[in-house]
Amino acid sequence: MGKDVIVACDFSSAEEVYAFLDRFESRPYVKIGMELFYAEGPQIVRELKRRGHKVFLDLKLHDIPNTVEKAMRVLSGLEVDMCNVHAAGTVKMMEAALRGLTEGSSRNGADPGACGTMSAAGNRPLLIAVTQLTSTSQEQLEQDILITQPMEQVVASYAEHAKEAGLDGVVCSPLEAPAVHQRMGSGFLTVTPGVRLAGDAAGDQSRVTTPAKAKELGSDYIVVGRSITAAEDPVAAYEQCRKEFIE
């Protein structure tokens, strides 16, 4: 599975995201989050796929198993390359999500070639679980979420639950990628936001590293938003991320 830089397109309208992506000669792997999806609906996914982008649909589902299963069945029709749920929803919820996604994909007769990223189960999108948000600090974990174990241990345990449910990997900070790979094996994907080019502001993120450090720590995919989208020259910032992380 090739390493890649995923650009978090946290824009509020389709016009903004197209104007941003039109600056690139290449077709970067993009992440569509809640802001854009809630503003534009499924059409934004279809259009980005039509334009040749791989799409990570980052909606972080977290609800009762039956609801998540049905929602995933619907999302499977969009033929994205990657989508996700919160591991905190329990193993049962993650199993339901996987079932919805797998059955939905086979019912749609999804073309294996259409999902650019082949997953363990074949012609369905990769399904990964958010462990702990990269904006959450150890202090917040303890005081707000009432989990008293060290972050790294919590992330590794949630990753174990995700694997038990049959998922392909987790979302975590690059700082936790070594612990996840050590416990779950190198084939279990670590998709890592919380990445900043050297000198850029962390903003609301807590557990951050550079693309070069993420490579060193063994991340499989880095998710980069503001270091690219808010850069004076986004294309140069993207190329810098690729250079540090992939080359």
Residues assigned a catalytic role: 60
Pick 53 or 110: Cβ nearer ligand C5P: 53
Q: How many CB atoms lie within 10 A of CB 173?
A: 28
Write the burial class of residue 236 (CB in 10 Å: 0-12 exposed, 13-18 middle, 19+ buried): exposed
**Short-list 109, 112, 81, 85, CA closest to 96:** 85
* Residue 205 in contact with ligand C5P, rule: CB under 6 A: yes
Span between the terminal Cα atoms of the chain, in Å: 15
* Residue 102 in contact with ligand C5P, rule: CB under 6 A: no
156: DSSP letter: H
168: DSSP letter: S
* Residue 224 in contact with ligand C5P, rule: CB under 6 A: yes
Q: How many CB atoms lie within 10 A of CB 1?
A: 13
* Residue 234 in contact with ligand C5P, rule: CB under 6 A: no
* Residue 225 in contact with ligand C5P, rule: CB under 6 A: yes
Least distance (Å) between residue 161 CB and ligand C5P: 16
Pick 57 or 165: Cβ nearer ligand C5P: 57
Kindly indicate which of the ranges 13-21, 64-72, 99-107, 220-228 contains the residues binding ligand C5P, using the contact rule CB under 6 A: 220-228
The token duo for 135 is 């904006």
Pick 37 or 106: Cβ nearer ligand C5P: 37
Least distance (Å) between residue 241 CB and ligand C5P: 10
Footprint (CB under 6 A) of ligand C5P, residues 176-195: 193
**Short-list 182, 147, 146, CA closest to 163:** 182
* Residue nearest to ligand C5P according to CB distances in the complex: 225
Round to whole Å and give the CA distance between 111 and 104: 12
Kindly indicate which of the ranges 42-50, 70-78, 127-135, 176-184 contains the residues binding ligand C5P, using the contact rule CB under 6 A: 127-135
Pick 227 or 240: Cβ nearer ligand C5P: 227
**Which residue of 4, 10, 168, 176 would you call a contact of ligand C5P, by CB under 6 A?**
10
Alpha helical stretches, state H, the chain: 14-21, 34-40, 43-50, 65-75, 91-107, 138-143, 151-164, 177-184, 211-217, 226-229, 234-245
Count of residues of this chain found to bind ligand C5P when the rule CB under 6 A is applied:
16
Where do contacts with ligand C5P occur on this chain (CB under 6 A)?
8, 10, 33, 58, 130, 133-134, 171, 193, 203, 205, 223-227
